[in-house]
Every structure is written in structure tokens, then in C-alpha cells.
């Protein structure tokens, strides 16, 4: 089951595939779409957690050691928001990796696909590229995941990975 964010990303992948993988412009357009989807999800997550904090503040303000408790809860919600964001980012990166994996599977005539609804698109991309090229592109996406586990600047890591995998 794919989420709305994942569907938006699949749509952006299909659009990029129509322009052709190997085009720097389409790779950067895809990265921008990825960043937009991720920013939208971050805003949604932040809003939900801000509402939850306000509700807790209203409910418990006069029943606890309010200053310390409120500071602790605020820290909790900041950390919770960041954690949810990182989880969402990982899910979206997994969509990218699975999509490129589908292209590789199509190239190798494997029937099992993660996104069967994208079969025609991934088949077109597979037909247009050599297996070695596709595997290098897959490595670019795997390298993104590894880089994001370090303290690398997120937007720079995304740009490099998208240029490697789709440019």
C-alpha cells in the first residue's frame, strides 16, 4: 500500500522517465519534486505534533510543575517530529531504490516487481540502458542512504545522489 507522498514520488519518477534518465535537467527536477514531497510531509508532521503539544499544555499546565514539564514535553515533540521526518524520508528513498530496482529487474526479465503499476515505464527505461549503467544508478541510490546515516548536509547528499542515479 502506497501513501499519498509515495504516489506523488512515483508520478514524478514517471514524468522524469518520459524525459529520459541520463538528463541532468530531469534529474534535478526529480530531486526538486522529492524535496517538495518531503517538505510537505515535514510540515504535516510538525503541525500534528504542534497541535498535540498545545493540547497537552492546555490540559496539564496547572496540574504539574509546569515550567520544567512543559520544557521537557516541548523537547519531546521536537525530537518526535524529527524522528517521524527521518522515517518518512527513509520511506521515500526506499520508493526510489525500489523503482530503480524494478528497472533492473525488467532489464533481467524478472517478473516480480515492487511497483507493477509502473511496469511499462520501468520497462522503457530498462530498454534504453545497459545493465552496468543501471547497476551504477542503483549504487548511487544506495550511497544516498549510506550518506544520510552520517552528518552530511541533506540537500547536498540528495543533489549528488540524484545526479548520480538519474543524471
CB count in 10 Å sphere of residue 73: 16
For 45-78, write each residue's pLDDT tens digit.
999 999 998 888 787 776 766 677 778 888 999 9
Q: What is the pLDDT of residue 88?
A: 92
Cα torsion at 156, 160, 166, 167 (round to 10°)?
110
Which portions of the chain are predicted below pLDDT 50?
A: none
Supply the mean pLDDT for the chain.
88
CB 5 within 8 A of CB 88: yes
Cell readout for 32 is 526538486
Give Cβ neighbours of residue 138 (< 8 Å, ≥ 6 apart): 97, 100, 101, 104, 165
Q: What is the pLDDT of residue 71?
A: 82
What are the DSSP calls for 29-73, one per residue? HHHHHHHHHHHHHHHHHHHHHHHHHHHHHHHHTTTS-HHHHHHHH
Question: CA angle, corner 52, sides to 6 and 81, nearest 5?
Answer: 45
Amino acid at each position: 500500500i502506497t501513501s499519498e507522498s509515495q504516489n506523488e514520488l512515483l508520478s514524478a519518477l514517471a514524468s522524469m522517465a518520459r524525459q529520459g534518465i541520463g538528463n541532468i535537467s530531469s534529474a534535478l527536477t526529480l530531486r526538486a519534486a522529492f524535496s517538495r514531497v518531503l517538505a510537505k510531509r515535514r510540515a504535516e508532521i510538525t503541525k500534528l505534533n504542534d497541535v498535540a503539544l498545545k493540547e497537552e499544555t492546555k490540559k496539564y499546565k496547572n496540574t504539574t510543575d509546569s515550567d520544567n514539564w512543559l520544557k521537557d514535553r516541548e523537547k519531546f515533540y521536537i525530537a518526535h517530529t524529527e524522528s517521524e521526518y527521518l522515517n518518512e524520508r527513509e520511506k521515500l528513498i526506499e520508493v526510489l531504490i525500489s523503482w530503480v530496482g524494478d528497472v533492473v529487474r525488467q532489464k533481467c526479465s524478472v517478473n516480480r516487481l515492487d511497483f507493477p503499476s509502473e511496469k511499462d515505464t520501468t520497462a522503457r527505461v530498462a530498454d534504453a540502458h545497459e545493465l552496468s549503467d543501471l547497476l551504477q544508478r542503483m549504487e548511487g541510490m544506495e550511497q544516498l542512504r549510506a550518506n544520510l546515516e552520517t552528518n552530511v548536509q541533506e540537500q547536498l547528499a540528495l543533489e549528488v545522489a540524484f545526479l548520480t542515479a538519474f543524471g
